[in-house]
Amino acid sequence: MTDTLRHDWSRDEVAALFALPFNDLLARAHAVHAAHHDPNAVQVSTLLSIKTGGCPEDCAYCPQAQRYQTGVQAEKLMSVEAVLEKARAARDAGASRFCMGAAWRAPKDRDIPRVAAIVRAVKALGLETCATLGMLKDDHARALKDAGLDYYNHNLDTAPEFYGEIIHTREYQDRLDTLEHVRDAGLKTCCGGIVGMGESRSQRAGLLQTLANLPEHPQSVPINLLVQVEGTPLAGTERLDPFEFVRTIAVARILMPASMVRLSAGREDMDEALQALCFFAGANSIFYGEKLLTTGNPDTERDRALFARLDLKPLQVTETSETVHADIVVSCKQAHAESAA
């Protein structure tokens, strides 16, 4: 094993990792994991949909695309105060990062002041902040960085050659461009994808290869198992073998040794033993709280019990700062009053 982070993985090399005997793959991934991280610490993020539904894009997996009948009601961007209330609850429940999602193709200029005020307020609670708002222009990325945003989530979703089967309203290159704007603004990158969309193993390898060969490894790598939602084109897709999901986590860990690999969407359908295997294979981050954006996640009691049974501890990375918080809430209320006027 080498400590050098590589950015020159070939598809064949990544495919060869996938093809290792399962136990050999897990042993290798766990060794990398233990060399770079505390294997008993798991970073805990909570998600909130701050702008739900009505999205003009056609991502075939997504319940928030306007064009699919999924029962998700479109809502406006939440107020700073409403987001703060949820963020405080997430912090008090033990989350260290608060991830805010908006069902936009891209934010408009007029959305940025409100989102910036939200970011400032959440940051002041002592939480790490993450936003996922769609494609991001460079000036928007800088404005969010100035507001105190720590991470921007923008997924590649799948391999370049499978992408056209899933999304037609924006190109793979658009995603790479957004990631470049995020890096250039000095934001940390949260970037991963979805498996279980009917892609081949080679295409799963292609997703991870593309992630690992980015100019910088994303600091967070969410691996989502497709949540099948009735009304989306991908509802009814053949389910992925759970052990293939574990392999995907293990290969992500080997390719991006220093990154946080998140066992992301899809946990509600996984039993405890499968999640434990994922943690052994190198996952060290989860979404915590009863909801992802619009779909379910395991309830907090179930996750607390799982952490206790596996002797896992939540990774704490920031301190709370109520003093700063009080000042910021006042400035956020002003920003909200201004944007509502």
The residue ranges that bind ligand DTB (CB under 6 A) are: 47, 63, 99, 101, 132, 153, 155, 192, 222, 224, 227, 264-265, 292-295
Q: Which residues contact 99 (CB under 8 A, 6 or more apart)?
A: 45, 46, 47, 48, 130, 131, 132, 151, 153, 190, 287
Active site residue 191: no
- Quote the least distance from Cβ 153 to ligand SAM, whole Å: 7
Q: Are 63 and 70 in contact (CB under 8 A)?
A: yes
Q: Are 226 and 264 in contact (CB under 8 A)?
A: no
Name the active-site residue from 55, 191, 278, 332: 55
Distance of CA 221 to the CA centre of its chain: 7
- The C-alpha atoms of residue 233 and residue 254 are separated, in whole angstroms, by 32
294 binds, among ligand SAM, ligand SF4, ligand DTB, none (CB under 5 to 8 A by kind): ligand DTB
In 154-306, DSSP assigns E strands to: 188-190, 193-195, 220-225, 260-263, 285-287
- The C-alpha atoms of residue 282 and residue 277 are separated, in whole angstroms, by 9
Contacts with ligand SAM: how many residues (CB under 6 A)?
A: 18
| Residue of 60, 83, 101, 218 interacting with ligand SAM (CB under 6 A) | 101
DSSP 294: S
Name the active-site residue from 97, 120, 190, 332: 190
- Quote the least distance from Cβ 101 to ligand DTB, whole Å: 5
Beta-ladder partners of 49: 101
Beta-ladder partners of 194: 224
Name the active-site residue from 28, 91, 114, 130: 130
DSSP 327: H
| Residue of 29, 55, 116, 260 interacting with ligand SF4 (CB under 6 A) | 55
- Quote the least distance from Cβ 83 to ligand SF4, whole Å: 18
x/- string (CB under 6 A) for ligand SAM, residues 140-179? --------------xx-x----------------------
x/- string (CB under 6 A) for ligand SAM, residues 34-73? ---------------------------xx-x---------
Can residue 197 be called a binding residue for ligand SF4 (CB under 6 A)?
no
Can residue 90 be called a binding residue for ligand SF4 (CB under 6 A)?
no
Q: Are 276 and 246 in contact (CB under 8 A)?
A: no
Active site residue 278: no
- The C-alpha atoms of residue 279 and residue 63 are separated, in whole angstroms, by 28
- Quote the least distance from Cβ 37 to ligand DTB, whole Å: 20
- Quote the least distance from Cβ 197 to ligand SAM, whole Å: 9
Active site residue 55: yes
Active site residue 332: no
Can residue 197 be called a binding residue for ligand SAM (CB under 6 A)?
no
Over the range 63-96, which residues count as b (16 or more CB within 10 Å of their CB) and which as e?
bbbeebebebeeeebbbbeebbebbbebbeebbb
Residues that bind ligand SAM (CB under 6 A): 61-62, 64, 101, 103-104, 132, 134, 154-155, 157, 194, 224, 226-227, 229, 265, 293
Residues that bind ligand SF4 (CB under 6 A): 55, 57, 59, 62, 64-65, 103, 105, 134
